Amino acid sequence: GENVEQHPSTLSVQEGDSAVIKCTYSDSASNYFPWYKQELGKGPQLIIDIRSNVGEKKDQRIAVTLNKTAKHFSLHITETQPEDSAVYFCAAIGGVSGAGSYQLTFGKGTKLSVIP
Amino acid sequence: EADIYQTPRYLVIGTGKKITLECSQTMGHDKMYWYQQDPGMELHLIHYSYGVNSTEKGDLSSESTVSRIRTEHFPLTLESARPSHTSQYLCASSELWGTADNEQFFGPGTRLTVL
């Protein structure tokens, strides 16, 4: 099955600086890579995703890059703000299971702290 | 804002008690999931369902059981709670058919403490 590695596990940045979180995956057949943000006391929420036919995707201060050859993808947050402080999870589709559905495999999470 | 709800949000119980964690969604999603989230943040899939009368075990072995009698409802039951069951439990749902990139919508979680 799919295996997703995520680094770093914790990350502290000064407000206004950039933050980068990196993930690698093992299954070369994976073709969908979402990123989730989990704020304190809440469930994870999708913030951005990328498909294997795209190398980069941006949404305001957030961008994701994908290198299919190297099997890694990264989340980039620019001009960080205190409200960006949260746990971030990367994920990859882990192959086909029954009934034509696909399972997401999550990384272990990165706790981002933005220092004012 | 996702329309997926979990009750209770917090639960403290004694060892040996039977408990049921409730999860409901109003999005008409076929697929539902239960994750256990440890203090180290990692999400472990413990159960999932493709639809009514479907239940499957996830990657992490769990002593809990689930049922899916209605599309919108996916309760998780522990017959005899133990301190090792202390954790955060997250419910999620997604569409079943279509493309592979089905966003999972998560509930707010239930924090369970077993004394």
Model confidence band, residue B78 (pLDDT cutoffs 50, 70, 90): very high
Candidates B41, B48, B101; nearest CB to A109: B41
Is 70 exceeded by the pLDDT of residue A50?
yes
Is the CB of residue A26 less than 8 Å away from at least one CB of chain B?
no
pLDDT given for residue B113 in this prediction: 96
Distance between the two ends of chain B, CA-based, in angstroms? 34
pLDDT given for residue A100 in this prediction: 46
pLDDT given for residue A99 in this prediction: 46
pLDDT given for residue A22 in this prediction: 98
pLDDT given for residue A31 in this prediction: 86
Bridge partners of B31, per DSSP, are B94
Model confidence band, residue B59 (pLDDT cutoffs 50, 70, 90): confident
Instruction: Note whether B75 and B20 are within 8 A (CB).
Output: yes
Cα–Cα distance measured from residue B45 to residue B36, given in angstroms and rounded to the nearest whole number: 7
pLDDT tens-digit map of A5-35: 999 999 999 999 999 999 999 988 888 899 9
Amino acid at position A89, single letter = F
Amino acid at position A90, single letter = C
pLDDT tens-digit map of B35-47: 999 887 899 999 9
Tell which residue, A106, A96, A109, has the closest CA to residue A39.
A109
- The SS3 call for residue A99 is helix
b/e sequence A8-36, b meaning 16+ C-beta within 10 Å: eeebebeeeeebbbbbbbebeebbbbbbb
pLDDT-above-90 percentage for chain B: 77
Tokens of A65: 């890059």
Q: In chain A, whose CA is at the least distance from the CA of B104?
A: A46
Inter-chain contact A101–B50, Cβ cutoff 8 Å?
yes
Instruction: Note whether B40 and B98 are within 8 A (CB).
Output: no
Candidates A36, A42, A93; nearest CB to B100: A93
Inter-chain contact B100–A111, Cβ cutoff 8 Å?
no
Candidates A34, A99, A106; nearest CB to B103: A34
Inter-chain contact B96–A51, Cβ cutoff 8 Å?
no
Structure-token match 């109003």, residue found: B26
Distance between the two ends of chain A, CA-based, in angstroms? 41
Helices (H), chain B: none
